Amino acid sequence: MALTLIEKIIARHSGNGSVKPGQIVDIEIDVRAARDFGGPNVVKNLQDNGLKVEDPSKTFFTFDCYPTASDQKYATSQQYCRDYAIDNNIKVYDVNSGIGTHLVIEEGLAIPGSTVVSTDSHANILGSVGAFGQGMGDQDIAAAWANGKSWFKVPESIKMIFNGKRPVDVTAKDIVLNLLNRFGANSLLGYSVELYGEEIDKLTLDERITIASMATEMGAIIVMIPPSDAIMKYCESKAGRKLEKIAADPDAEYAKVIELDISEFVPMVSRPGHPEDSVDISTVRGQKIQSAFLGSCTNGRYEDMKTAADILKGRKVAPGVMLKIVPSTDDVWNRCLEEGIIKIFKEAGAMVSNPGCAGCAAGQVGQNGPGEVTISTGNRNFAGKQGKGSVWLASPAEVAASAVAGYITTPDQIPDTPAVFTPTGKSAATSAQRAEVPTDKPMVFEGKVWIVGKDNIDTDMIFHNRYLTITEISEMGQYAFDNLEGWKDFAKKAEKGDIVITGKNFGAGSSRQQAVDCFIALGVQIIIAESFGAIYERNAINAAFPILNYSDISSLELKQRDRVRIDLLSGILTNVENGKTVQIEKFSPVQVDIYKKGGLLK
């Protein structure tokens, strides 16, 4: 029986001589990968079910979602996977390596005709070399790790033939955006799509990766591009052996045969929210941008970097625009370094990060803020996917040109003078809205104490850096002492009006104001310590939050949750439970003045 590309690969890996669409078969998986996103759940599924890895030599971790490891949750996930990898002899492509689906090609693991699964929904990138790649959930990957096999339903195939000559200004990204314009997000749903034609045969590996990577956005199971002689030579050099060239049978049957004229394709961009909402770039030229992103599994390859560098050389990124660049793998990064491309990027004013997925996975760079307009080479621009702003999808050439222009444009229409931002007035001071501060602020406090008997409690213990993006003081209280051993439940136990008594050097460490404001949010009245960190002391005084130093209060015989009274002006501290008093430091004139005003800026 004649077979399509996908049918031939599945048949060979199932042990069957032939398969047909709709048939469900178990197939051998040649490469089984899990990322730092999803990897810990794969491990947990294996451990919870008492399963072992069937073949460690075919099993891999790829840390590409959060290669900076600057987020504590991701760092914990990565270390959890590393520990499992050591115990089970599994190779880890760590945070310095790059995108997993690219690495398996570079490392010669994914070859034409092979099967690859990953916790990456864009594992179908492997169609770029004529391999069958699939993204899977955590349980699926765990089963593949344990059994070496996975079940698949053989998809129907579509043969797509490209006639004509590709216009010189139409990039690989433009090709896929033209396809999205024609077929939308679901016309190809569930199909394996094979691409043919003279212009398809000419595609480089980097171009094939760009097109194959957006099969997911078109709803296709995979976009399969039959390997050319050049692709075979590349894969053989990486695998270190002679490989069989995979091809569909000449008389294979397809659900559909679609012919397209590639000469009609035009440079395109996708409007924010939907990759399939792609339009001719000329219809939106002039759209002001605030940031630009070059990278992702779709356009983080060397050719993408070189294209952008050729445009940026001798130019500067427009004022007020931030260009962020993330190569896909360490090999790409190093080649860019050796050839001076990184230097061009830096001289143009771009930021270059270490290899990985970047903003697409919300784990590196490329995220944008509310109202920010970004032009990106990513594959997805769903609302919230790359931040809280809006994202336009485009080719590397269009992203680089737009970054220089300050608005969406093409390389042939970069202006001599970039567009600049004009004042909006949104950030002007609004003194009329300032709240009135009570002038009768209390000078004597009474409340129950929390005796936190530790020295050198730093600001990370008080208010951890993972919460620093919180700007509303009312939300900060719940995290007070969240990172202090023995006191992580403090916020739940504390009552409004409480008083904290602690040791030496309270508030050591960073300058974060939140370490003061979290106690204000909780309703803590005052903190009394043997001494305070210098910056913390200033922050508290300037926020009108009462703090006082003491030398020795042992004579008070304080117990946890005793009631005390403190006079700010006299410095008399009284244990209400037994009537004993002690002299501590009193408010300074400056402290009194700022406290009565309600803060330094009032």
Give the pLDDT confidence score for residue 437 in this predicted structure. 45
The answer to whether 132 and 154 are in contact (CB under 8 A) is no
- Does the pLDDT value for residue 478 go beyond 70? yes
Given this model, what pLDDT does residue 1 score? Answer: 85
> What's the domain range around 527?
444-597
Radius of gyration of the chain (CA): 30
Confidence of residue 386 (pLDDT cuts 50, 70, 90): confident
Q: Which of 132, 134, 124, 116 is nearest to 19 (CA)?
A: 132
147 Cβ contact partners less than 8 Å away, ≥ 6 residues apart: 54
| Whether 273 and 397 share a structural domain | yes
- Count Cβ neighbours within 10 Å for each residue of 436-461 and write b for 16 or more, e otherwise: eeeeeeeeeeebbbbbbebeebbbbb
Query: CA 298: distance to chain centroid?
Result: 15
Report pLDDT for 58. 97
pLDDT on residue 358: 79
56-65, 195-204, 365-374, 489-498: segment of lowest average pLDDT: 365-374
Q: Is residue 431 in a domain? A: no
Crossing angle between the packed helical segments 341-348 and 302-312, to the nearest 10 degrees = 50
| Same domain flag for 207 and 333 | no
CATH of the domain at 167: 3.30.499.10
Task: Give yes or no: residues 219 and 80 share one domain.
Answer: yes
Q: What is the pLDDT of residue 427?
A: 63
Rounded to whole angstroms, the Cα distance separating 568 from 524 reads 15
At 434 the pLDDT is: 44
Q: Tell me the pLDDT tens digit for each residue of 462-476.
A: 998 878 778 899 999
436 belongs to a structural domain: no
- Looking at the chain, the whole-number percentage of residues with pLDDT higher than 90 is 79
pLDDT at residue 331, rounded to an integer: 97
pLDDT at 121: 85
State whether 249 and 171 are in the same domain. Answer: yes
The span from the CA of 298 to the CA of 210, in Å, is 5
The pLDDT value recorded for residue 423 is 76
Q: Is residue 191 part of a domain?
A: yes
Same-domain pairing of 253 and 297: no
Select from 207, 127, 164 the least CA-distant residue to 397.
Answer: 207
Please check whether residue 460 lies inside any domain of the structure.
yes
* Domain contains 140: yes
The band of 362, judged by pLDDT with boundaries at 50, 70 and 90, is: low
At 532-558, the pLDDT tens digits run 998 899 899 999 999 999 999 999 999
Whether residues 96 and 241 share a domain: the answer is yes
Q: Are residues 390 and 468 located together in one domain of the fold?
A: no
CA 355/CA 337 separation, integer angstroms: 13
Instruction: Give me the number of domains the chain comprises.
Output: 3
Burial classification of residue 251, based on how many CB atoms lie within 10 Å of its CB (0-12 exposed, 13-18 middle, 19 or more buried): exposed
Considering 413, 431, 459, which residue would you say is the last residue of a domain? 413
CA distances from 485 to 325, 480, 507, 524 (A): 39, 12, 15, 20
pLDDT tier for residue 363 given thresholds of 50, 70 and 90 = low
What spatial distance separates the first Cα and last Cα of the chain, rounded to whole Å?
A: 83
Last residue of a domain, one of 413, 433, 464: 413
For 108-137, the pLDDT digits (tens) are 999 999 999 998 888 999 999 999 999 888
Please answer whether residues 491 and 479 qualify as being in contact, where contact means their C-beta atoms are separated by less than 8 angstroms: yes
What pLDDT is recorded for position 432? 43
- Distance (Å, rounded) from C-alpha 454 to C-alpha 484? 10
Identify which of 380, 115, 121, 114 has the alpha carbon closest to the alpha carbon of residue 241.
Answer: 114
Residue 519 CA to residue 478 CA, distance in Å, equals 9
Residue at 343 is within a domain: yes
CB 539 within 8 A of CB 511: yes
Determine contact, residues 120/135, Cβ cutoff 8 Å: yes
Contacts of 566 (CB under 8 A, 6+ apart): 444, 445, 446, 499, 526, 528, 548, 572, 573, 574, 584
Residues with Cβ within 8 Å of residue 136, at least 6 apart in sequence: 117, 118, 119, 123, 144, 150
Would you say residue 549 lies in a domain?
yes
| pLDDT for 428 | 60
Helix axes 341-348, 330-338, angle to 10 degrees: 80
Task: Check whether residue 66 and residue 215 sit in a common domain.
Answer: yes
For residue 73, how many other CB atoms are within 10 A of its CB? 10
Do residues 196 and 208 share a domain?
A: yes
Residue 17 and residue 31 in one domain: yes
**Is the same domain home to 27 and 90?**
yes
Identify whether residues 451 and 391 lie together within a single domain.
no
How far CA 422 is from CA of 11, 319, 321, 370, 419, in Å, comes to 62, 11, 13, 18, 9
53-67, 143-157, 379-393, 512-526, range with the lowest pLDDT: 379-393
Say how many C-beta atoms besides its own lie within 10 A of residue 91's C-beta.
16
Write the CATH number for 479.
Answer: 3.20.19.10
Instruction: Indicate the residue among 230, 249, 264 that finishes a domain.
Output: 264
pLDDT on residue 109:
97
Contacts (Cβ under 8 Å, ≥6 apart) of 140: 117, 150
Question: Exposure string (b/e) for 488-511, b if CB count within 10 Å is 16 or more?
Answer: eebbeebeeebbbbbeebbbbbbe
Question: Phi and psi (nearest 5°) for 306?
Answer: -65, -40
In a domain, 454, yes or no: yes
Strand partners, 149: 28
